[in-house]
Amino acid sequence: MAPAGGKLPVVIGVAQKGVAPTALEIALSNDESVQGSLDELFTGRSERSGLLVMGDFSATGKRVVPGKRMYAVLQIGTLWFTLIKTDESRTVLEEDYFDLNAVWAGSPEMLSDAIAYIQKARESGLQPDIVSTSEMQFDRDLVIPGDPVLGCDVVDLGPPHGKALFLRRSEGDRLLSLPSTRGRPVDLTAQTALSSRSHFAAWADFTGDGRLDLLSGNEAKWSLHSMNDKGQFLRTDLGISVAGALAIAPFGRGVEGRGSAVLFTSGAPVVVSFDAQFAAHATSLKNWPDGLEQGGGAAADFDNDGTIDLIQVCSKGIIFAQGQNADFGRPLLIETAAIKATRHVATGDFDG
């Protein structure tokens, strides 16, 4: 439960092994970093689930402090804390002595089942078959200085590169390999001759040659990065600009298998398509409702008729445009309970 009066109340929900107390009242140390971490963890929340591992850790700490005995570690969210028993029999929450960085991403119930499974396997003399380590290791050499990453995508570039992690950055995008077996990612940016600087980015086969291409840019400057048979990108500046851009989404294949993309803006969405000479054409959709606070959008077959539709969230609900062959029908405003327009929309099989 949330800290109060210099103490952190802890209620033990499930004990996996041995005898555990039903509750603990832990005093907080005077360390400002500990106080700040707890404040951040409990912002807007009165309770948090965590993992408490009890045992005598005194001999494994990085330093031994006279009069203090470390007897438990506590994980809440992504942070670890140390529980110290003092000579006065007080339990004090202090900093993480171990520099632990493991994080449990599942529910408390899943964690309980995982621990029980591991214990049962070990009692039977078996090796627990559960993934507990990362398949990737990032070297410090891959720390990217400069502007922060604006977004990322996993893309399958095909031979010879395979799957890669694409990082959008205004100072210059980056591509990192994703090895299929245990190994270290490789920076592919120079190897692929990628020269994009993406505020917005969409991946699709825009040239119709069966290889993945990148449509990249910001409101004022757009470029197409088409991949050749050697796995390198060739840049073509498109000479188009789109005012008020908020989000981008690739969709479908048009003439001769060339992909298109839609840019959602503060006004009408803009469809970007390519002709046989790979020249870009930007076309604003007609009859789009105006006077609304608009946000992100998505392109998908929302009505299951085999054609790609568009949706864009707005201050009054959702604007829906039904796909009609290579075009879109008159947009329909579907009013819902007031929702704040957002810049991001995602599609997927969320309900299985």
Ranges of each domain in the chain: 7-123, 148-335
pTM above 0.85, yes or no: no
What does the pLDDT look like over 182-232, one tens digit per residue? 566 788 999 999 999 999 999 999 888 888 999 998 878 899 999 998 999
Question: What tens digit of pLDDT does each residue of 105-140 get?
Answer: 556 666 667 767 767 777 777 765 554 444 445 444
Q: Measured in whole angstroms, how far is the alpha carbon of residue 112 from the centre of its chain?
A: 26
Residue with the bigger pLDDT between 235 and 90: it is: 235
Q: According to the model, what pLDDT value does residue 54 have? A: 74
**Residue 296 neighbours by CB distance under 10 Å:** 18
The torsion angle over the Cα atoms of residues 51, 57, 58 and 64, rounded to 10 degrees, is -60
In sequence order, what are the beta bridge partners of 236? 224
Domain 148-335, CATH homologous superfamily name and number: YVTN repeat-like/Quinoprotein amine dehydrogenase (2.130.10.10)
Q: How far is C-alpha 75 from the chain's CA centre?
A: 22
Distances (CA, A) of 68 to 81, 90, 100, 275: 15, 10, 20, 73
CB environment 84-106: b (16+ within 10 A), e (fewer): bbeeeeebbbbebbeeeeeeeee
pLDDT digits (tens, 9 = 90+) for 246-281: 888 888 666 567 888 898 988 888 988 888 777 888
265 closest CA partner among 251, 285, 280, 250: 285
pLDDT for 96 equals: 63
d(CA 201, CA 37): 35
